[in-house]
A and B are shown apart, each in its own frame.
Chain A
Amino acid sequence: MLPLTLLKTAQSHPMLVELKNGETYNGHLVSCDSWMNINLRDVICTSKDGDRFWRMPECYVRGSTIKYLRIPDEVIDMVKDDAQAKTRNRSEINKARISGGLQNQNVRGQVRSRYKNGQQNGAKNVLRGQTSRPLSQIAVNKNRK
């Protein structure tokens, strides 16, 4: 399991984030990205020494300043559910792709044969019009007739 997958699963859950400077931020995770930048709501910031507090409605934390995140225990079980659901979906998609692929082959076959006919028809047209033949050949043919 990837740490950022777990973090994504923890969206809307409360968490504690400690920064490298020792400050901690308690709040609900709104969103996160692949750099671990995070958006928190209803935040209480605690100073490094733990004796000063600030309330703020929301804040954005740059991922590179984070030391660690403390997440509710139950979130790890929710990742398992997510992952299983995803693999289930993926296998269904693959199944669909396999059956769809065969159909596509048939369709492609039909298209190809139609195209062949088209080419043949086109070739016939050219012969009929005799536009692509050198004049000398046309003359020879006329003589044969």
Chain B
Amino acid sequence: MASGLEAYINHTVSIITADGRNFIGTLKGFDQTINVILDESHERVFSTTSGIEQIVLGLHIIRGDNIAVIGLIDDQIDSRLDLGNIRGEPLGPVVH
């Protein structure tokens, strides 16, 4: 296996970008610079005053430069989350 990402293809992933946003979607492909295709994606916006807001976005190409973390999501556990009642501080951007 050339890259650990191969195992995530066609699975739900969470991508945290350098500007601190969190994208969830199906990983459809990637290349050597970790540019990524994310299908049926949505953004989760965290806030301390109300629950997590989900914004539907659709098909995305995210540039590798802008990606900090890619994590595999367990669909079963994720569907059990009550996002409306989860509060949290939004992430800040990556500090260099």
Contact = CB atoms under 8 A, between A and B. Distances in A.
Which DSSP category, helix, strand, loop or mixed, fits chain B's interface?
A: strand
Nearest to A70: B60
- Name the interface size band of chain B: 20 to 34
A6 B58 contact: no
Nearest to A74: B59
Interface residues of A, number: 21
B63 A70 contact: no
A2 B31 contact: yes
Interface of A is mostly: mixed
B14 interface: no
Contacts of B39: 73, 76
B60 A71 contact: yes
Interface stretch (A51-59, A60-68, A92-100, A128-136): A60-68
Interface of A: 1-7, 20, 36, 63-64, 66-73, 75-76
**3 shortest A-B CB distances, which residue pairs?**
A1-B29, A3-B35, A68-B62
